[in-house]
Amino acid sequence: MCFHDLYLRIVLLYMSRVISTLQYLNLSLFDLWKLIYYMILKYVVNTHGVKMPRHIVSGLKYLATIELRKKGYNQNRIAEILSLNRSTVSHYLNGRNISLNSIEVAEVIKNSCPKDFVSIVHALLKDKDQTRTLVKICSNADYNSHIESSCIACGICVDACMVNAVVLDGLKAKIDNNFCCGCRICGEMCPTNSINITEVE
């Protein structure tokens, strides 16, 4: 799924909720569209006084909390991993203080292609280490990397990686497969086409 399709799905998700809410009101077409426009702005830009990026981050951290709980982590450890306080983790696990809209949008983002997923999470968090943590918890795929001998250690891939999975080791790039999210941005940026990323079957 490309980024434009993802954005369209998010907007349509909110529009469908707005329209289903308004369809029972007896309004003129003009008034109806004015109200829809207002509510789209309200939901997409500012939901319950919370800026939408923060709202989406809450949804993603909720999904990560559920994944970590399934893997047997206790609440204190989950709070530490996700940089949350323990009460927030408790609320997430009990379905409190999190809107269904946030969860639905987070699910759409999570199920997008790896490149879009990591790009959106990094844009929201603006921190590579936090991005790596959240993406790896929510991703169910593993990846293997291979660096060809044509690598010139230019460092472009290091700067491009949004999860800090790439380092320069001597005169060659090295990718930590434990943290690689499969976005393949490093390979796209490589001037010598020396990076190959494959998903583990």
- pLDDT tens-digit readout, 20-31: 555 555 555 555
Place of tokens 């789209």: 40
pLDDT at 101: 75
- Asked whether residue 74 carries a pLDDT value surpassing 80, the answer given is yes
What are the pLDDT digits (tens) for 48-58? 444 566 778 88
Counting residues of the chain whose pLDDT is more than 70, the rounded percentage is: 73
| Average pLDDT, rounded, for the chain | 81
Taking a C-beta distance cutoff of 8 angstroms, is the pair 24, 82 a contact? no
Strands 50-51 and 46-47: antiparallel
- Asked whether residue 146 carries a pLDDT value surpassing 90, the answer given is yes
User: For residue 47, what pLDDT band results from cuts at 50, 70 and 90?
Assistant: very low
Q: Does domain 143-199 bear CATH number 3.30.70.20?
A: yes
pLDDT at 184: 94
- Note if the pTM is more than 0.85: no
Domain residue spans of the chain: 3-138, 143-199
Distances from the Cα of 167 to the Cα of 58, 128, 170, 184, 191, angstroms: 30, 13, 10, 15, 16
Residues 6+ apart with CB under 8 A from 93: 65, 66, 69, 75
